[in-house]
Every structure is written in structure tokens, then in C-alpha cells.
Amino acid sequence: MKKYLCEACGYIYDPEVGDPDNGVEAGTAFEDIPEDWLCPLCGLGKDAFVETE
């Protein structure tokens, strides 16, 4: 699965890890994260993220 980078703060969402502290289980694709999920570091929404390698 592809990783996604928050352009504002540099946080990388890795689907293999998820974001369990914020209710996103490991193995959750970025597209399947709820629309109201926020970056755990800077608080911006999914629209601040871009696909990365």
C-alpha cells in the first residue's frame, strides 16, 4: 500500500501501521480513513496529504 505525506508538517501515514491512537486500525488504506480524520501532528485534514513513496 502507498504511503501519504502531510505537506504541512511531514507526518507520513503508513497504511501498514495505521493511526491506532486516533481510531485507524493497521491495514487501513488512506482512501478508507474517515473524511473527518485529522493529521495527528498538525491537525490538518486529509486534503493536506499527498501520495509518497
Question: Is residue 39 annotated as involved in ligand binding?
Answer: yes
Check whether 9 is labelled as a binding-site residue: yes
Output the 3-class SS for 1-53. Answer: CCEEEECCCCCEECCCCCEHHHCECCCCCHHHCCCCCECCCCCCEHHHEEEEC
29 known member of a binding site: no
Does 6 carry a binding-site annotation? yes
Residue list for the binding site: 6, 9, 39, 42
Residue list for the binding site for Fe cation: 6, 9, 39, 42
